[in-house]
Amino acid sequence: MKCMAVYHILSSYQMNCQSTRPAPAVFHRHHPTLPMAKFCVSLWVPAVRPILTILWVFAAGGWALAAAGPDFTLVTLPDTEFYAQNAGGQFGLASTMQALGSAATPAATTTVPTGTTTATKTATHTATHTATHTATHTAVKMPAARYVIVISVDGMGSAYVKPLLQPGLANELSSFKRLQAEGCGTLNARDDADFAITLPNHTSMMTGRGVVGPAGHNWTSNIDPPPGATFESNKGTYIASAFDVTHDHGLRTGIWSGKSKFSLFHTSYGPTTGAPDLSLPDHGRDKIDYEKITANISAADLSADFTRQMTAQPFNFAFFHYRDPDAIGHAIGWSADPASPYAAALKSVDTQIGKILDWVRATPALNGQTSIILTSDHGGHGQTHGDTTNPLDYTIPFYVWGAGVAAGGDLYAINPTTRSAPAATANPPYSGPQPVRNGDAANLALSLLGLGPVPGSTIDRAQDLAVAHPH
Ligand SMILES: [Zn+2]
């Protein structure tokens, strides 16, 4: 226990030593392998050495400073790189660390020499990855949820959802109405400002970036990626995602999709392509723990796999993609007719979502600890989409349900100063007042998990999209 306590403090220190925040600064870092009630807090004063790292405990409704004891030691840390890790995941502290307290002997916490592995690890400290590392470990909130499921319904335009909310229809979207009543959201959300096609928008959902421009993820293609292509190979710099942040905190991640082009996420965040995890313990470069990417799989089959996998071992961050309405839209046409095949496809997905809601409520491990974000990549018109001037294409729903989420709220009413409801015929650019966008999903999901924003993200970077009324 002594060993682990020292480790957590050290890990917290490494975030802070790379930070560029003004001094003195206080950081709260939730570490998932600590009990939920414990947070590391570091006081970082760059001009003054050494650095003191202490542990706070949130218990009995308030914060308390944990006294040094059998499982926790106060340490002072000089400003230098000094950690190492062996293949077994053990870690050691280099000789430059000094520990306070009679029992806190760093050498006793390690079984490996520091030299070689430190050099190896340090070599991965490129500027980009250091920035990633720093930003992925700045959680500032109490987590509202232990599990977040982002559900994207491909081709679900708000114009086509609205008619199906009327009671009594054969294709009435009863689960969607339940999300509206029990959660908060809007039918007046937007997709990316410049693209109304699938892969660029799903990338925005996962990375918190728009598509184009220096800050964009720059993935504009909507076909199966060329072999080996990744977000990084396309842009020239690594594009972090919600998978990165979640996984680097030791939490489980998964993706389910019925379209083969979603292999892009697998390729971009795989064992050799994901960013090194520079925190300790090292959770590796493979950012997605489970993938079910199967072309043309039905909504029912994909849902069944999802609940099966979640039951076996829950995923803290799950991204779930239903392809069905888009497929019918392209084949037969987007339609506001409640009796249309497109409406039936929406209803089919709605039924599966209802099963997921019921299953969350009926599963003790998930109920009250799970949030769901429901949105879409684009709507459509005729038998196509992608027209960034057509409200039918860019107007989409965005709903949040579950742990930490207000019931029955409108997201624009809850966020009067940070989001602005756009005119029905506008998809605003990224400069100026922002609508709720599908790109909010990544940083909202992380916020609900109590984690900081995706490094490099711009949409909801401040994680200020509230889903509950302020207390
Ligand atoms: Zn799509």
The pLDDT tens digits for 41-71 are 333 333 333 344 444 444 445 555 555 444 3
CA of 259 to the centre of ligand 1 (A): 9
DSSP annotation of 77 reads E
Model confidence, pTM: 0.74
CA atoms within 13 A on the CB side of 203: 34
Sheet holding 147-153, edge to edge: 290-293, 253-257, 317-322, 147-153, 370-375, 395-402, 184-190, 409-410
Q: Is there a domain that residue 133 lies in? A: no
Q: Is there a domain that residue 444 lies in? A: yes
CA of 199 to the centre of ligand 1 (A): 7
* 140-172 CB burial, b ≥16 within 10 A, e <16: ebebbbbbbbbbbbbbbbbbbbebbeeeeeebb
CA of 233 to the centre of ligand 1 (A): 23
> Are residues 435 and 375 both part of a single domain?
yes
Per cent of the chain over pLDDT 90 is 67
Report the number of distinct structural domains present in the chain.
2
> Are residues 23 and 158 both part of a single domain?
no
Which of 123, 138, 170 is the endpoint of a domain? 123
CA of 100 to the centre of ligand 1 (A): 57
User: What's residue 63's pLDDT?
Assistant: 52
Q: Is there a domain that residue 454 lies in? A: no
> Are residues 117 and 181 both part of a single domain?
no
DSSP string, 425-452: T----SSSS---BGGGHHHHHHHHTT--
Q: pLDDT tens digits, residue range 183-214?
A: 999 999 999 999 999 999 999 999 999 999 99
CA of 433 to the centre of ligand 1 (A): 26
CA of 123 to the centre of ligand 1 (A): 40
DSSP annotation of 395 reads E
CATH code, domain with 407? 3.40.720.10
CA of 30 to the centre of ligand 1 (A): 35
CA of 196 to the centre of ligand 1 (A): 8
Q: Is there a domain that residue 463 lies in? A: no
Asked if 357 and 173 count as a contact pair (C-beta separation under 8 A), the reply is no
Whole domain around residue 408: which residue ranges?
Answer: 147-448
Specify the 3-state DSSP secondary structure of 353.
Answer: helix
CA of 326 to the centre of ligand 1 (A): 6
User: What's residue 33's pLDDT?
Assistant: 34
User: What's residue 142's pLDDT?
Assistant: 75
CA of 93 to the centre of ligand 1 (A): 49
User: What's residue 143's pLDDT?
Assistant: 85
- 176 — pLDDT class (breaks 50, 70, 90): very high
Q: pLDDT tens digits, residue range 311-326?
A: 999 999 999 999 999 9
CA of 256 to the centre of ligand 1 (A): 15
> Are residues 163 and 79 both part of a single domain?
no
| Ramachandran sector of residue 135 (left: φ over 0; alpha: ψ -120 to 50; beta: rest) | alpha
Q: Is there a domain that residue 460 lies in? A: no
> Are residues 152 and 73 both part of a single domain?
no
Chain-wide mean pLDDT for the chain? 77
Average pLDDT over residues 360-374: 96
DSSP annotation of 123 reads H
CA of 78 to the centre of ligand 1 (A): 51
> Are residues 118 and 195 both part of a single domain?
no
CA of 379 to the centre of ligand 1 (A): 8
Residue listed under structure tokens 């706070």 = 56
> Whole-angstrom distance between the N-terminal and C-terminal Cα of the chain?
37
Residue listed under structure tokens 């090292």 = 282
> Are residues 152 and 116 both part of a single domain?
no
User: What's residue 280's pLDDT?
Assistant: 74
User: What's residue 141's pLDDT?
Assistant: 57
Q: Return the minimum-mean-pLDDT range out of 117-131, 384-398, 437-451.
A: 117-131
Asked if 11 and 279 count as a contact pair (C-beta separation under 8 A), the reply is yes
> Are residues 112 and 172 both part of a single domain?
no
160 vs 137, residue with greater confidence = 160
- 356 — pLDDT class (breaks 50, 70, 90): very high
Q: Is there a domain that residue 64 lies in? A: yes
User: What's residue 278's pLDDT?
Assistant: 82
> Are residues 243 and 382 both part of a single domain?
yes
Q: What count of residues does the chain have?
A: 471
CA of 323 to the centre of ligand 1 (A): 7
CA of 215 to the centre of ligand 1 (A): 22
CA of 95 to the centre of ligand 1 (A): 54
User: What's residue 65's pLDDT?
Assistant: 54
CA of 353 to the centre of ligand 1 (A): 18
CA of 355 to the centre of ligand 1 (A): 23
> Are residues 431 and 341 both part of a single domain?
yes
CA of 175 to the centre of ligand 1 (A): 21
CA of 435 to the centre of ligand 1 (A): 20
Average pLDDT over residues 166-191: 97
CA of 183 to the centre of ligand 1 (A): 24
CA of 86 to the centre of ligand 1 (A): 44
Q: Is there a domain that residue 464 lies in? A: no
Q: Is there a domain that residue 351 lies in? A: yes
| Token pair belonging to 223 | 């076909």
> Are residues 88 and 9 both part of a single domain?
yes
Asked if 97 and 81 count as a contact pair (C-beta separation under 8 A), the reply is no
> Are residues 435 and 345 both part of a single domain?
yes
Q: pLDDT tens digits, residue range 212-252?
A: 999 999 999 999 999 999 999 999 999 999 999 999 999 99
DSSP annotation of 22 reads P
Q: pLDDT tens digits, residue range 13-31?
A: 333 322 222 222 222 232 3
